[in-house]
Structure formats: structure tokens, C-alpha cells
Amino acid sequence: MPRNRKPRQARRSRDEWARLISEQAESGLSQRAFCHSRDLSVSTFCNAKRRRSVPILRPRKAEPFQLVVATDGPPDGPAGPWFRYGPHVYIRVVHAPALEFLVLTVAGWLGRRQVAMVEYLVAENRVLREQLGDRRLRLTDAQRRRLAVRGKAIGRKALGEIASIVTPDTILRWHRELVARKYDGSRRRGPGRLRTKEAIVELVLRMAAENPRWGYTRIHCSLSNLGHDIGRTTVKRILVENGIDPAPERGERRSWSTFLKAHWGAIAAMDFFTVEAVTFTGLMRYVVLIVIDLETRRVEVAGVVHQPDGRWMAQIARNLTDVASGFLCDERYVIHDRDPLFTAELRTILESAGLTPIRLPAKSPNLNAYAERFVRSIKEEALSRIIPLGEGHLRTVVREYVMHYHEERNHQGLDNQLIAPRLESQARAGPVHRHERVGGVLNYYYRQAAQPRRLSTGTQRRRLRPRAAGLRCGAPPTGKASAIRFAA
């Protein structure tokens, strides 16, 4: 062997190399310094460290089978797999590789079975959803709460695969609402400020409707005069909640009801309607012309004729504008439609009497609503329930209905009052009687007023004797004495 050659080092095992590598790491020395201290080859040490030789551990003696059971949850102790056997029971197998493998195999089989069950439930849910169609499900709060709790645990991605009743975002929104409801303290709050009384609210709305130019301050001052102490802001809030504009905007717009009520005393309306009557020559059409006063709702039947013409209309106009008994004496405006029977001669006669005829636009029956409503009433309540037998019968039916309309029929436009109530309708005591018109088609119920007790002839003579001061006995009773006696 040459002198300058180092002796060959003995071959080291993997355990020895692993031990040396661990010592070098723990000493903190560099590889070159550690190798010089141990008389090792630096290249050989680096190659061994690069290969990362893993020490071969000797197999330990297998310990006997051990089964640990915990009833209060997995306890602290040495690491190992814990398996849940029940609600509060956990099992851990210690140093039993074969048994652990068996348990894991059974757990995997159970997992695959649960996956199959979930897939079946998803398919069944989709089939039921197809049977339901486009109908929307109405879920209760309890059902939404259960879905929200289960859906939050699953997650949005998994919900997108299985949720079919509602979308995943809906379920997550339900969960957020459930959490917000948990911390909602509105139920524990006090009642707060009391609401304004309904009587005051109705009074504010009434003042605003009847006075379009009144503002918040004016209404507030008027309420103070009546003893209601509320603020100006409260008046504003009431009007805003009921959709009423402020005074400048509200005052510029006037409703049709306000305009008509201001001019009702000077407006009348005219309209025609036709009736088919049975005569000896067959069915014959009659034309009926009516005039209605918009303020009082009084109706005047101007005429009934078989073939109206211009001369007949001119005579009707003269009758209506007669100074002594004309129905239109106190009116200033007369509205009518564009029927050809309203001739130029008729309008001339009306204008000569101081009236202003107003022709309504074409196809606008709503502008002559009061006359149209009377035509509907007489047809529904009387003419549609009888068969007119000639012109005389038709005139009788129309006349009877007009009397019933004035004296016996309540009108909603007049607060359900009668236009011209009869004397017996004012009685509040006595038996109830029925007054029939047109053979029982029109009925009216009233109480018969109590009749005065009839006195004997002698009693009447004694009461008629003059007893007033200054009258001679035997002198003929004067009007003054009679009035004094009857007043006594």
C-alpha cells in the first residue's frame, strides 16, 4: 500500500449515516467542520445526506388488542382514530391494524350507501318538482327556518347541485334573516309616540278638500280655533300620507265635483230615450224627451211622441221657457248631445229666453251623466218590467214613475233623501202601509199619521163661540177671533 494513500474506511449502515446526519444538524457545525472532527469524507457525507437515507427501524413487538370507549366525547390522550358510535359514545382501536382496516372498510361502505340515498332523494325531489309544474310553493316560517339551518351547513356550492324548490341564494338569505331576527330588539321597544286621533285626521282632510287654497299653517290655525292642539308638521304629514298636494298646487286644480256644485243651480240637462210599445198595428217606437235640474234632481217629461220633428221640438222649447210655468225659467245653461232633433230653431228659442245651449262632444255620454242615469233608472225599474200597450199606457207609466222618482225614491246624490217628501212620510209612529204604483212594480212604504179625534156637533159649536175680550155675544165671529180661538 502506498504511503500517501489513506486507509479505506469501513462501509457504514443506513442507521449510522442517519445518526451522523442528525448529530451534524444538532451541533450547528458546517459539513466540512463536522467531517474533519469525525474524520469523514466530505463528499461521502454529502452524498449520504443527498440520498436522505431513512433509518430502518426495527419492528416493535405488537401489543395486544385494546379497545377504548369514551361516553363524554373524545378524551385527550395519545393520537389515534376515534369513531362515533352514538350520540355521546366514541370508540378508538389501539394497535390493531387489521381491526382498523376493517372499520375503515365498513365506514367507506356506509359512506357509499349514504351517497346513494342522497342521490335517490335528489331524484325523487326533482320528480315531485316536475309534477308540481309552475305552481309556486307556499312555505311557512318553520319550514323556511329548517331549510335555512340545513342549507347553511351544506354551503352554496352543494346547494346549487341539490336545491330545486328554491335557489341557493334564497336559502342563504333566509339564514341571514334568521340570524337578524335573533338579534332584533324591536319587540322590546316601547310603544313610542301616540298616533293622531282619527277624528282630527278626518277634520284635516275635510278642511283641505273643502278649501283648496288653505296651506299647512292655515289649517293648523283653524284646528287651534276648534281646540285641537297639533303641530304644523303633523298637518303636513297627514296630507302627505293621504296623497294631497300642497296648497299652491292643490288650489290651481279644481275638481269637476267642486265646479259642478258651484254652478248646479244654473244648469239643466236634456236627453231623449226611446220605448217600443205594442199597438193595434204592431210595435211602434215612441220618443220621450226629459229635462233634469242638476241641483235638485227634479225631472220634467217634456213630451212623448211617435215621430218627432222640428216643429214639435220648437213647441217643446216654448213650453219649457214659458214665463209663467216653464221648467227652465230659473236656469242659465242647458246641456244636450248632438242629436239631430236639437235643431237650430230650438237653440234660437232657448237663446231668446236668456238660456245658453251647450252642445256636448260626440260620443261622450259621461258629460251628461245625470240625464243618462235617469234614463237608466226608468228603464230598469219600470219600463223593462212591463209591456206598454199604446201611447196612453206609456204616458201613464212614465208619469207614475216621475211621481215615484220625486216623492218616494231615495237618491244617493242627495244623501239618500227624497226630492219632495210627502207629509205622511215624516211620521215616526203608527202602522206601516205600502203605496203601489204601476200594479205593484213601484212600491213605497210609509207610516200613516194619526188622524185627529172627531168631535160632536155640540162640542164644535161650544168651541167656536167667541171668548176673546172686546167681542159682543151674538156678534158674528171675525177672522181674528177665530184665529184666537183655534190658537187656544
Query: Distance of CA 301 to CAs 264, 396, 421, 436, 479, Å?
Result: 20, 12, 20, 21, 42
Query: Distance of CA 202 to CAs 97, 207, 245, 447, Å?
Result: 87, 9, 16, 37
List the alpha helices (DSSP H) in 382-442. 390-407
Going by their DSSP bridges, the two strands 333-336 and 267-279 should be labelled as parallel
User: Looking only at Cα atoms, what is the longest distance across the chain?
Assistant: 196
What residue type is 100 in one-letter code?
A: E
Question: Smallest Cα–Cα separation from 201: which of 154, 236, 177, 163?
Answer: 236
- 205: three-class secondary structure by DSSP: helix
Query: Distance of CA 390 to CAs 284, 375, 383, 403, Å?
Result: 8, 20, 13, 20
Cell numbers that stand for 35 in this block: 467531517
Q: Do residues 90 and 74 touch, judged by C-beta distance below 8 A?
A: yes
Phi, psi (degrees; rounded to nearest 5) at 297: 65, 15
C-alpha triplet 23, 24, 30: angle, nearest 5°: 160
40 phi-psi bin (left φ>0, alpha ψ -120 to 50, beta other): beta
> Residue 380's pLDDT is what?
92
> Residue 372's pLDDT is what?
93
> Residue 214's pLDDT is what?
85
- 387: three-class secondary structure by DSSP: coil
> Residue 449's pLDDT is what?
64
Question: What is the Cα gyration radius of the chain?
Answer: 54
Cell numbers that stand for 400 in this block: 207614475
CA distance 257 to 262: 9
> Residue 76's pLDDT is what?
54
Angle, helices 42-51/14-27, rounded to nearest 10 degrees:
100
Q: Do residues 288 and 301 touch, judged by C-beta distance below 8 A?
A: yes
Angle, helices 216-225/232-241, rounded to nearest 10 degrees:
120
C-alpha 219 chain-centroid distance? 30
Q: Do residues 270 and 291 touch, judged by C-beta distance below 8 A?
A: yes
Domain 261-422, CATH:
3.30.420.10
> Residue 451's pLDDT is what?
55
> Residue 53's pLDDT is what?
45
Going by their DSSP bridges, the two strands 442-447 and 82-84 should be labelled as unpaired
* Per-residue tens of pLDDT for the chain, all 488 residues: 455 555 555 677 777 877 887 787 777 777 777 887 777 777 777 777 776 544 444 444 444 444 454 545 555 554 455 555 555 555 555 555 666 666 667 777 667 777 777 777 777 777 777 777 777 777 787 777 777 777 777 776 777 666 566 677 777 777 788 888 777 777 666 666 778 888 889 898 888 888 877 888 888 888 888 888 888 889 888 888 888 877 777 666 666 666 667 777 889 999 999 999 999 988 999 999 999 998 889 999 999 999 999 999 999 999 999 988 899 988 899 999 999 999 999 999 999 999 999 999 888 888 889 999 999 999 999 999 999 999 999 999 999 999 999 988 888 878 888 888 876 656 677 788 888 898 888 998 887 765 555 545 555 445 444 443 443 334 444 443 333 333 33
> Residue 293's pLDDT is what?
92
> Residue 273's pLDDT is what?
94
Per DSSP, the chain holds a count of helices (H) and strands (E) of 18, 10
DSSP strand E in 77-211: where? 82-84, 90-94
**Residue 267 pairs with which residues in a beta bridge?**
333
CA distance 237 to 242: 9
